[in-house]
Structure 1
Amino acid sequence: MEENLKILVIDDNQTDPSIVSLALTQTGISMEIDEVKDGNHALFVLINNHYDCVFLDYLQNQDSFTLIRKLQSSGIKVPLVILMDSASEEIGRELIKLGASEYFVKSRLSPETIAQILRSAMRIHHAEMRLDLVNQQLKESREQLVSQQRELTAQQQQIKQQNLKLLEISSLKSVFLATISHELRTPMNAIIGFSQILLRPKFGQLTNKQLDMVEKILKNGKNLLIKINEVLDFSQLESGKLELKPEILDLSKVVSNAVTKIRPLAEAKNLSLLVKIDLENTLVFNDAVRLQQIVINLLSNAVKFTESGNIWVEIRDITQNQVIITVKDTGIGIASQDFQNIFAAFHQVDQGIGRKYSGTGLGLAIIDSLVDIMGGKIDIESQLGVGSIFEIKLPRKINLAPDLGSVVFSSHENSFHSVYYPHLKL
């Protein structure tokens, strides 16, 4: 127990000395005792001073209930012991319900018992104060959690609304890209067609200067058409509207055709373009146009970003049901921190307007999407200043048609025929 306790005794006995004060002074506990004779004086003293415990001799001439209520309404919290006559124990219990700490019958009062009462009352009061503090902290925590939950709900609602707006914007963007690509392809095809007609001798002999100008128109028209087609393909892939048209095809011929189209670009930069085909069975079930598009995009990138050295293309079996297409170059390479971005739409190594390497930034994004819907996977290895390696792993048979089980590949004759074998394994 604390030393030098400060005790308040409320006793309306006007003649006899307070038996409570006498008993307290005989406990051996160091304390300072103040006495008041009525409830109003007691309230004033308690408002202006701190006491460790209050002993209230049940007020006969004043309402003890009123005093306790005033203490409660004033926010004064102090251990309060009620001293009662033996016939008034029922009233004591009511006072405790109202807020008193303990009650005790005065006829049993002694220095030992009042010391026990003092210790008990203070212990109960401290426990109640700790409980009040915990309850207050819990209340504040609950209020904080409710507030945070409201904020979180509002943020989630805001994010939901933003996502809906982004989806709407993305949808409008895809529609716009598809529409504008269609609108641009028609006049561009006309420009290319008329340029080709002008280059035919039967339509008249052009001067060397005119011939050079028309060839430039044709070349630039074809380049622009490629970019327009890339935008159209991307918009269809993004909206999920691009559908593959699988067929039985010779993978080696598809790769060779792609190499044939890219070889002039490589030769223009004095690059060696080497091809290696290591397939026991060259037949696959896939979309020939989209497969060629994947290879052409990879080779175009390799040529674009390689100033000297070689470009290799290899196709080989991984397993009986899987093939791999590898494109390797000795180009500028890709920084490791850019690996996660190179397949993002419109991402380019050189982002400036006056960039050295032209393009829409959609080539690798289209490859990534096409490989994904084919059920394949892309792996990349690269080192700045050394070169890059792209590996496209594809299933020999893509699962897009319900009757794929009827397709049989013959690795011996390099040909195929159709019969119905439900449990076919390619």
Structure 2
Amino acid sequence: MEETLKILVVDAEEVDRIAVRSALTKAGVRMELFEVRDGNDAFSALSTTAYDCVFLNYHLLDQDALTLIQQLRSSEIKVPLVVLTAQGDEQIAVQLLKAGATDYLSKSRISPETLTQVLRSAIRVYRAEMQAALANQQLRETHEQLIRKNQELERQQQHIQMQNFNLLEASQLKSDFLATMSHELRTPMNAIIGFSQILLRPKFGQLTHQQADMIERILNNGKHLLMLVNEVLDFSKLEAGRLDLKAEIFDLSKVINLAVGEMRSLADAKNLSLLVQTDLQNSLIFNDPVRLKQILINLLSNAIKFTESGEIWVGVKELAENRVVIQVGDTGIGIAPKNFKRIFEAFRQVDQTITRKYPGTGLGLAIIDSLVRMMGGKIFLESKLGIGSMFKIELPRQITLSTVAADAPASQLDADGVFCSAKNHHQSSSQASKASIGYPKFKL
């Protein structure tokens, strides 16, 4: 062996100690050899010094080897132990191995070759056992760490579940509060609007120009506030899953013209052209006319709000697979691609500051997105900053009333950078891209 080994020989007989020393020396073992005569000295030596191997005679002066081995093991002193036995002690040797001895060798077989072989084997077995014990210890520690981590994960999961429950409860309470407050606010707002309209009628007396102007402001602001309240109420219903579509057969062209007619005065106030183009062979569809008109009013309101000059246009035409597409475009400020998804989020606007130029609740497009998905449709958005925006809504001619917003897929962008409110839209978005408008000219 290349390394220098510390070897302890425990034997009361000097002749036996000499035999072991001589055999190891002749075998060329590099070693530091230490000798003691009894078990107590051996225990003291092993308690204070680490040895690479111990040759232990079974018969000691003060005790037998089995007692010493048990004493060492109980004190957790670990060292390769080779027990030297007399002739006929083989049965005893088996007991010693069970107690913790590494190997045994009959004194009659001591020779340089056998002693060296037993020495090498004992050290190799001992080191393998130590490595296995270390690996087992590491496995136990790892297992304990995993148990602790699993326990911590379970605690965290329970905490998260509790937080989710609290969030759901808070969300439900918020939705209920919004619905209740919206209902409560609509009653006085309707009264304000109604009485303002009555005061403006000539048969109730002539008003000065200043008085008429003030009442018109009350009326207009009341209508605006009622619209905001209605948005909050619709959103709370959509969020709670309590908004149902009331479908019927109606003329799509008439609903579009009604929506455009209601918004024309706002466009005229900003000197904006408001154009309509219908290209339908059959204008009858099965949908909710009230909600479809609401979608158009919201889109037109946004288009007028964010357009300072130029034109607003509305178009409708046939699509394959018994579908129609409604387009609302403008020559307004446009939307950056990074904000395509954000504008469809509830209470989200591109400008979130309290000093923003364009007011609103940030619910309009979120409501539109939910309603369109309830109708089994998709929204496409094309926009360029400083040039304008185009919203395209694809709808089936006949909606399925079992379709609910919760089952509809989330909004996303397609490969061409066209925003769409549904997943399976690649073919449709491609068609929409090819049919895109040329800014600022009106084109379907």
Q: Same fold (TM over 0.5)?
A: yes
- Residue identity opposite 1:229 in structure 2: N
Counterpart in the other structure of 2:26: 26
Which has the higher mean CA deviation after the structures are superposed, 234-243 or 23-32?
23-32
Counterpart in the other structure of 2:214: 213
Could you tell me how far 1:75 is from its partner in structure 2? 2.6
- Residue identity opposite 2:301 in structure 1: S
Counterpart in the other structure of 2:429: none
Instruction: Write the deviation string for residues 275-328 of structure 1: whole angstroms up to 9, x where unpaired.
Output: 222222211110000001111111111111122222222212221421111222
Could you tell me how far 1:270 is from its partner in structure 2? 2.0
Would you say the 8 A contact 2:11–2:17 is kept in 1? no
Secondary structure at the counterpart of residue 275 of structure 2: strand
Secondary structure at the counterpart of residue 83 of structure 1: strand
Counterpart in the other structure of 1:180: 181
Counterpart in the other structure of 1:313: 314
Instruction: Write the deviation string for residues 239-270 of structure 1: whole angstroms up to 9, x where unpaired.
Output: 01111000001111111211111122122222
Would you say the 8 A contact 2:182–2:229 is kept in 1? yes
RMSD over aligned Cα atoms: 1.6
Counterpart in the other structure of 1:37: 37
Could you tell me how far 1:110 is from its partner in structure 2? 0.8
Distance 2:67 2:391 in 1: 89
Would you say the 8 A contact 2:17–2:35 is kept in 1? no
Instruction: Write the deviation string for residues 183-216 of structure 1: whole angstroms up to 9, x where unpaired.
Output: 1101110111101111111111111111111111
Instruction: Write the deviation string for residues 333-376 of structure 1: whole angstroms up to 9, x where unpaired.
Output: 22222222211111112212222111111101101111111111
- Residue identity opposite 1:23 in structure 2: A
Would you say the 8 A contact 2:52–2:79 is kept in 1? yes
Would you say the 8 A contact 2:342–2:350 is kept in 1? no
- Residue identity opposite 1:27 in structure 2: A
Distance 1:249 1:305 in 2: 31
Which has the higher mean CA deviation after the structures are superposed, 128-137 or 236-245?
128-137
Secondary structure at the counterpart of residue 194 of structure 2: helix
Counterpart in the other structure of 1:55: 55
- Residue identity opposite 1:352 in structure 2: T
Counterpart in the other structure of 2:398: 397
Secondary structure at the counterpart of residue 138 of structure 1: helix
Distance 2:168 2:402 in 1: 30
Q: Equivalences for 1:83-94 in 2 at 5 Å? A: 83-94=84-95
Would you say the 8 A contact 1:230–1:363 is kept in 2? yes
Which has the higher mean CA deviation after the structures are superposed, 189-198 or 37-46?
37-46
Counterpart in the other structure of 1:418: none
Q: Equivalences for 1:133-282 in 2 at 5 Å? A: 133-282=134-283
Secondary structure at the counterpart of residue 342 of structure 2: coil
Counterpart in the other structure of 2:417: none
Would you say the 8 A contact 1:11–1:18 is kept in 2? no
Distance 1:384 1:148 in 2: 51
Counterpart in the other structure of 1:339: 340
Would you say the 8 A contact 2:37–2:60 is kept in 1? no
Distance 1:105 1:330 in 2: 105
Counterpart in the other structure of 2:407: none
Would you say the 8 A contact 2:273–2:311 is kept in 1? yes
Unpaired runs of at least 5, structure 2: 404-444
Which has the higher mean CA deviation after the structures are superposed, 19-28 or 219-228?
19-28
Would you say the 8 A contact 2:9–2:17 is kept in 1? no
Secondary structure at the counterpart of residue 130 of structure 2: helix
Could you tell me how far 1:16 is from its partner in structure 2? 5.7
Distance 2:16 2:383 in 1: 103
Which has the higher mean CA deviation after the structures are superposed, 312-321 or 195-204?
312-321
Instruction: Write the deviation string for residues 371-409 of structure 1: whole angstroms up to 9, x where unpaired.
Output: 11111112222232232222211111111179xxxxxxx
Distance 1:309 1:70 in 2: 101
Could you tell me how far 1:15 is from its partner in structure 2? 6.2
Which has the higher mean CA deviation after the structures are superposed, 61-70 or 285-294?
61-70
Distance 1:78 1:35 in 2: 16
Structure 1 pair 307–59 and aligned structure 2 pair: CA distance change class (3 A): farther
Distance 2:344 2:377 in 1: 15
Distance 2:64 2:332 in 1: 99
Secondary structure at the counterpart of residue 344 of structure 2: coil
Secondary structure at the counterpart of residue 371 of structure 2: helix
Distance 1:35 1:60 in 2: 13
Would you say the 8 A contact 1:347–1:361 is kept in 2? yes
- Residue identity opposite 1:58 in structure 2: Y
Secondary structure at the counterpart of residue 389 of structure 1: strand
Counterpart in the other structure of 1:9: 9
Counterpart in the other structure of 2:323: 322
Secondary structure at the counterpart of residue 342 of structure 1: helix
Would you say the 8 A contact 2:342–2:348 is kept in 1? yes
Counterpart in the other structure of 1:365: 366
Distance 2:321 2:34 in 1: 101
Would you say the 8 A contact 2:343–2:349 is kept in 1? yes
Counterpart in the other structure of 2:98: 97
Would you say the 8 A contact 2:11–2:60 is kept in 1? no
Distance 1:379 1:85 in 2: 96
- Residue identity opposite 1:41 in structure 2: D
Q: TM-score, normalised by structure 1?
A: 0.91
Secondary structure at the counterpart of residue 9 of structure 1: strand
Which has the higher mean CA deviation after the structures are superposed, 188-197 or 275-284?
275-284
Q: Once superposed, which parts of structure 1, at least 4 consecutive aligned residues long, lie more than 3 Å away? A: 14-18
Distance 2:67 2:152 in 1: 45
Unpaired runs of at least 5, structure 1: 403-426
Which has the higher mean CA deviation after the structures are superposed, 393-402 or 95-104?
393-402
Structure 1 pair 131–351 and aligned structure 2 pair: CA distance change class (3 A): same
Would you say the 8 A contact 2:199–2:215 is kept in 1? yes
Q: TM-score, normalised by structure 2?
A: 0.87
Secondary structure at the counterpart of residue 327 of structure 1: strand
